[in-house]
Amino acid sequence: MTELPKIFDPRAEFVRKVADETGISEPQVRYLISIVGYDHSSLVREARILKRDQQ
């Protein structure tokens, strides 16, 4: 059976990138996106605060 090529999803890639960059989970990144939107600097700021508060 022929395997279909994977379709690139830029939103999923963005979520993975922010999660890797900040050390929080992908579901946490999605939650932050629901609050602050897709602004990278705002997401990184909020992710760092979230990570700091978890420790």
d(CA 28, CA 50): 9
Q: Is residue 39 part of a domain?
A: yes
Q: Is residue 40 part of a domain?
A: yes
Q: Which domain holds residue 55?
A: 26-55
Q: Is residue 41 part of a domain?
A: yes
Q: Is residue 35 part of a domain?
A: yes
Q: Is residue 38 part of a domain?
A: yes
Spell out the alpha helix ranges (H) of the chain: 10-22, 26-36, 40-54
Percent above pLDDT 70 for the chain:
98
Number of independent structural domains in the chain: 1
- Other C-beta atoms closer than 10 Å to the C-beta of 25 total 12
What is the per-residue pLDDT for 1?
Answer: 60
Residue 48: band (very low, low, confident or very high) from pLDDT cuts 50, 70, 90:
very high
Evaluate if residue 12 carries a pLDDT over 90: yes
Q: Is residue 37 part of a domain?
A: yes
Prediction pTM value: 0.82
Evaluate if residue 39 carries a pLDDT over 90: yes
The chain-wide mean pLDDT, for the chain, equals 92
